[in-house]
Amino acid sequence: VAAEPRLNVAVLGASGFVGGELLRLLSRHPDVGVVRGFSESHAGNAWGAVHPVLDHLDGGRFEEPNPRAAAAWADVLFLALPHGRSQGVVRELAAADCLLVDLAADFRIHDRERYERTYGPHEAFELAAGFVYGLADVAAERLAGARRIAVPGCFATAALLALHPFASRGVVGGEAVCFAVTGSSGAGAEPGRSTHHPFRAHNFFAYALGGHRHEVEIEEEVGRWTGGGPPCRLLTHSAPLVRGIHLTARLPLREPCADPLALLCQAYGGRPFMRVLDRPPELAAVVGTNFCHLHAALAPGGREVIVLSVIDNLVKGAAGQAVQAMNLALGLGETAGLEFPGVYPC
C-alpha 257: how far from chain center: 29
The least CB distance from residue 192 to its own copies, in Å, is 6
**Which listed residue (41, 68, 197, 259) binds its own copies by CB under 8 A?**
197
The number of residues that bind its own copies (CB under 8 A) is 76
Residues 240-279 that bind its own copies (CB under 8 A): 240-244, 246, 248, 250, 275, 277
Residue 78 near its own copies by CB under 8 A: no
The least CB distance from residue 68 to its own copies, in Å, is 31
DSSP assignment, residue 228?
Answer: S
The least CB distance from residue 172 to its own copies, in Å, is 16
Residue 61 near its own copies by CB under 8 A: no
**Residue (72 or 239) nearer to its own copies, CB:** 239
Residues 206-245 that bind its own copies (CB under 8 A): 206-207, 209-211, 233, 235, 237, 239-244
| Cα–Cα dist 163/172, whole Å | 9
Taking alpha carbons only, the member of 132, 171, 7 closest to residue 75 is 7
The least CB distance from residue 202 to its own copies, in Å, is 6
Instruction: Pick the piece of the chain touching its own copies (CB under 8 A) from 30-38, 147-155, 196-204, 320-328.
Output: 196-204
Residues 115-154 that bind its own copies (CB under 8 A): none
The least CB distance from residue 70 to its own copies, in Å, is 24
Residues 284-313 that bind its own copies (CB under 8 A): 284-285, 287-289, 291, 297, 299-300, 306, 308, 310
**Residue (226 or 248) nearer to its own copies, CB:** 248
**Which listed residue (39, 86, 157, 185) binds its own copies by CB under 8 A?**
185
**Residue (95 or 258) nearer to its own copies, CB:** 258
Residue 44 near its own copies by CB under 8 A: no
The alpha carbon dihedral of 10, 220, 314, 212 has a sign of positive
Residues 23-42 that bind its own copies (CB under 8 A): 24, 28
CA dihedral 26, 242, 214, 299 (to 10 degrees): 120
Please identify which of the residues 154, 178, 232, 257 carries the catalytic annotation.
Answer: 154
Neighbouring C-beta atoms of residue 308, cutoff 10 Å: 20
CA dihedral 151, 325, 147, 220 (to 10 degrees): -40
Phi, psi for residue 116 in degrees, rounded to 5: -70, -30
Residue 345 near its own copies by CB under 8 A: yes
292 among known catalytic residues: no
The least CB distance from residue 142 to its own copies, in Å, is 25
State the amino acid at position 143 in one-letter form. L
Residue 202 near its own copies by CB under 8 A: yes
Cα 333 to Cα 58, 140, 184, 188, 235, distances in angstroms: 27, 12, 32, 30, 36
**Residue (145 or 240) nearer to its own copies, CB:** 240
Residue 273 burial (CB < 10 Å; 0-12/13-18/19+)? buried
Q: Which residues pair with residue 308 across a beta bridge?
A: 248, 295
Asked whether 205 and 237 are in contact (CB, 8 A), the reply is yes
The least CB distance from residue 113 to its own copies, in Å, is 16
| Cα–Cα dist 24/10, whole Å | 13
| Cα–Cα dist 155/276, whole Å | 19
**Which listed residue (15, 195, 321, 324) binds its own copies by CB under 8 A?**
195
| Cα–Cα dist 213/172, whole Å | 22
Residues taking part in catalysis: 154
